């Protein structure tokens, strides 16, 4: 069997940074074989400057919105952004499909090997059947009015059934969009759906979300009015959106909470006490694009949470690149070590998407991809 051998200034194995004395050995198609001392590696070792890393995991994306790149300006705030997505997303299908293909090309070039993708239709399916990237399809259900709960769930179920014809049920779920957009009746249908092995939800992306649940005020009042949604039935529980909805998920349902810009220390204490299996996903560039703010990432580190990364969509980002998310985090949180950042981008993400038997680290049985990052994380290129 033919092998490929790689050595660089540092080797990140998914757990730790190893020095230049360590050689990564893979099969020709990238299956992990061994990490060995350079003195025992033999000939034909390819030497590079930089950091070798497993492929990146994008835990939150909306590939189906790729055609909306640049259509919505920065700084709209979440409520107006969501309204613009709902009203401006419909364009000719050919335009959407071309944008989806280009966006996947971009993710591949940027070292992304797996994606947690939000789906409100099946337009990404033709691209996904090419199997260039691994996906978990999160079919999103929304509907704040209880009267439409059954219809909305049936629509999501029809999309789900199309996705599972092309990939294992393990990598498909029906999930709630966000606390402010899902009626209690729809929540119950979602969490008790037997196909849901993994859940995700947009969480506390703006302060307006908490304001709505605390006292039914803020930007979402006008949002619902513009959407012509009757909210007279809704009685605010008087606590944050996360504390209002987290216990609706079943204890045995692993969960990826996305954005978390306005998640407080009290919310994190509540989440820990709930005993839910949570990965906290940050999409810092999208947060800056929409609202000009970032999560308190240092608070999540201090609380010992499991952190992963996402790009969100090209409607709310200038690119689909986990490396660019890392750069933004480094700019605003310079004290975070490179090995910790890379762990979020690789092994943690693979664990969150339940793909860590295949991806995320250089270990036996895995084919995680091989990336070369500059030592300062300024750029990345794909070796395998």
pLDDT tens for 189-202 read 999 999 899 999 99
Do residues 146 and 184 lie in contact, with contact meaning Cβ atoms separated by under 8 Å? yes
Q: Are residues 333 and 378 in the same domain?
A: no
Do residues 299 and 269 lie in contact, with contact meaning Cβ atoms separated by under 8 Å? no
Q: Are residues 328 and 307 in the same domain?
A: yes
pLDDT digits (tens, 9 = 90+) for 32-57: 999 999 999 999 999 999 999 999 99
pLDDT value of residue 1: 74
Q: Are residues 365 and 224 in the same domain?
A: no
- Domain span including residue 25: 1-54+361-384
pLDDT digits (tens, 9 = 90+) for 126-174: 999 999 999 999 999 999 999 999 999 999 999 999 999 999 999 999 9
Q: Using the 8-state DSSP alphabet, how is residue 337 labeled?
A: -
The C-alpha atoms of residue 278 and residue 281 are separated, in whole angstroms, by 9
Q: Are residues 375 and 232 in the same domain?
A: no
User: Is residue 293's pLDDT more than 90?
Assistant: yes
Q: Are residues 201 and 301 in the same domain?
A: yes
Mean pLDDT of 183-194: 98
What is the domain-level CATH number for residue 329? 3.20.20.140
Which residue is associated with the tokens 């709505």?
Answer: 212
pLDDT value of residue 195: 85
Do residues 113 and 359 lie in contact, with contact meaning Cβ atoms separated by under 8 Å? yes
What's the number of domains the chain is made of? 2
Mean pLDDT of 285-313: 99
User: Is residue 281's pLDDT more than 90?
Assistant: yes
Average pLDDT, the chain: 98
Q: Are residues 99 and 10 in the same domain?
A: no
DSSP result, 13-39: -SS-EE-TTEEEEEETT--EEEEEEGG
Q: Exposed e or buried b for every residue in 223-254, given b needs 16+ CB within 10 A?
A: bbeebeeebeebeeeeebbbbbbbeebeeebb
User: Is residue 351's pLDDT more than 90?
Assistant: yes
User: Is residue 203's pLDDT more than 80?
Assistant: yes
Q: Are residues 208 and 348 in the same domain?
A: yes
Going by C-alpha positions, the residue among 27, 26, 7 that lies closest to residue 18 is 7
Q: Are residues 175 and 267 in the same domain?
A: yes
Q: Are residues 29 and 149 in the same domain?
A: no
What is the domain-level CATH number for residue 11? 2.30.40.10
Q: What are phi and psi of 100, to 5 degrees?
A: -60, -45
Q: Are residues 50 and 60 in the same domain?
A: no
10 Å Cβ neighbour count for 256?
26
Q: Are residues 76 and 118 in the same domain?
A: yes
* Separation in Å, CA 315 to CA 64, 199, 285: 10, 23, 11
Mean pLDDT of 309-335: 99
Q: Are residues 3 and 133 in the same domain?
A: no
């Amino acid at each position: 069997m033919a092998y490929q051998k790689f050595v660089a200034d540092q080797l990140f194995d998914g757990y730790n940074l190893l020095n230049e004395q360590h050689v990564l050995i893979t099969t020709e198609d990238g299956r992990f074989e061994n990490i060995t001392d350079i003195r025992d590696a033999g000939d034909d070792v390819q030497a590079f400057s930089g950091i070798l890393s497993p492929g990146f995991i994008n835990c939150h994306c909306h590939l189906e919105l790729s055609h909306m790149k640049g259509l919505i300006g920065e700084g709209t705030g979440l409520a107006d952004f969501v309204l613009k997505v709902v009203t401006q997303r419909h364009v000719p299908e050919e335009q959407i499909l071309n944008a989806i293909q280009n966006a996947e090309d971009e993710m591949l070039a940027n070292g992304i090997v797996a994606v947690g993708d939000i789906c409100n239709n099946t337009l990404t399916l033709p691209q996904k059947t090419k199997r260039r990237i691994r996906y978990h399809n999160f079919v999103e259900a929304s509907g704040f009015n209880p009267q439409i709960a059954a219809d909305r769930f049936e629509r999501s179920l029809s999309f789900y059934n199309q996705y599972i014809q092309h990939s294992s049920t393990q990598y498909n779920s029906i999930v709630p969009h966000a606390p402010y957009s899902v009626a209690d009746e729809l929540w119950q249908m979602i969490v008790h759906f037997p196909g849901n092995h993994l859940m995700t939800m947009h969480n506390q992306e703006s302060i307006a979300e908490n304001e709505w649940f605390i006292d039914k005020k803020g930007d979402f009042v006008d949002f619902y009015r513009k959407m012509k949604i009757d909210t007279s039935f809704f009685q605010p529980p008087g606590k944050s959106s996360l504390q209002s909805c987290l216990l609706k998920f079943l204890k045995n349902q692993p969960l990826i909470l996305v954005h978390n810009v306005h998640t407080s220390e009290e919310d994190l204490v509540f989440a820990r006490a709930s005993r839910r299996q949570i990965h906290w996903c940050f999409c810092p560039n999208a947060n800056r694009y929409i609202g000009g703010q970032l999560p308190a990432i240092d608070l999540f580190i201090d609380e010992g949470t499991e952190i992963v990364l996402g790009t969100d969509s090209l409607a709310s980002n200038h690119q689909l690149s986990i490396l660019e998310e890392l750069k933004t985090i480094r700019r605003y949180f310079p004290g975070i070590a490179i090995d910790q950042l890379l762990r979020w981008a690789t092994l943690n993400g693979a664990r969150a998407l339940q793909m860590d038997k295949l991806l995320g680290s250089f270990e036996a049985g895995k084919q995680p991809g091989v990336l070369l990052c500059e030592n300062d994380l300024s750029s990345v290129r794909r070796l395998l």
